[in-house]
Structure 1
């Protein structure tokens, strides 16, 4: 996958060189491909961009999203992590409901008699 056009802007914003940003993008894209399984979906691109921003903020001395107070702390990774954790809870609840539903339908389904 080609590097996004926003890559130089993120590099400048975080205070890293464009060469390092390109290396970080390739690393993030490779990891996202392993996780997503393909490199054509929107999930792959979202994962790649999130990982790239995380790596760029870790290597650089600034955050991509500036706070109103202009503090040096980076909390954007906490928000992304909280989003992932909340999605896991919803996936678990959905799986449990489907399991309960299938067991309930099997219980109430037609009774089979042995011959």
Structure 2
């Protein structure tokens, strides 16, 4: 997998070199692949980026932060929060599809078999 385009920015913010950041990315990608069992799912990419940010923050000794009106916001928290919010849309769509399917099945008298 290619390194994310945000890699140089995170390297700069944490105070590490881009070469070290690339090594940390490869380590994070390898660990994410072991954890998820594949290297092409959205869970794999999310986990790889989270691990990379954690490694970069630990190696550089500085958090990846952004100034916002006097307060500091951690990018790793923001990344995880955005993932949770995006999952809610998918869960809602899945629930609506199941509701629609059950209504159609009850309308036509189709019985579902237990698997």
Q: TM-score range, shorter-chain basis?
A: 0.5 to 0.7
5+ residue gaps, structure 2: none
CA distance in structure 2 between the partners assigned to 1:6 and 1:101 by the alignment: 40
Q: Are the aligned partners of 2:66 and 2:75 in contact in 1 as well (CA < 8 Å)?
A: no
| C-alpha RMSD of the superposition | 3.7
Q: CA deviation at 1:95?
A: 1.3
Which one has a larger percent strand, Structure 1 or Structure 2?
2
Q: CA deviation at 1:108?
A: 0.7
TM-score scaled by structure 2?
A: 0.62
CA distance in structure 2 between the partners assigned to 1:98 and 1:6 by the alignment: 35
CA distance in structure 2 between the partners assigned to 1:74 and 1:58 by the alignment: 17
5+ residue gaps, structure 1: none
Aligned length: 110
Q: CA deviation at 1:59?
A: 2.7
| Correspondence for 1:100 | 99
TM-score scaled by structure 1?
A: 0.62
Structure with larger Rg:
1
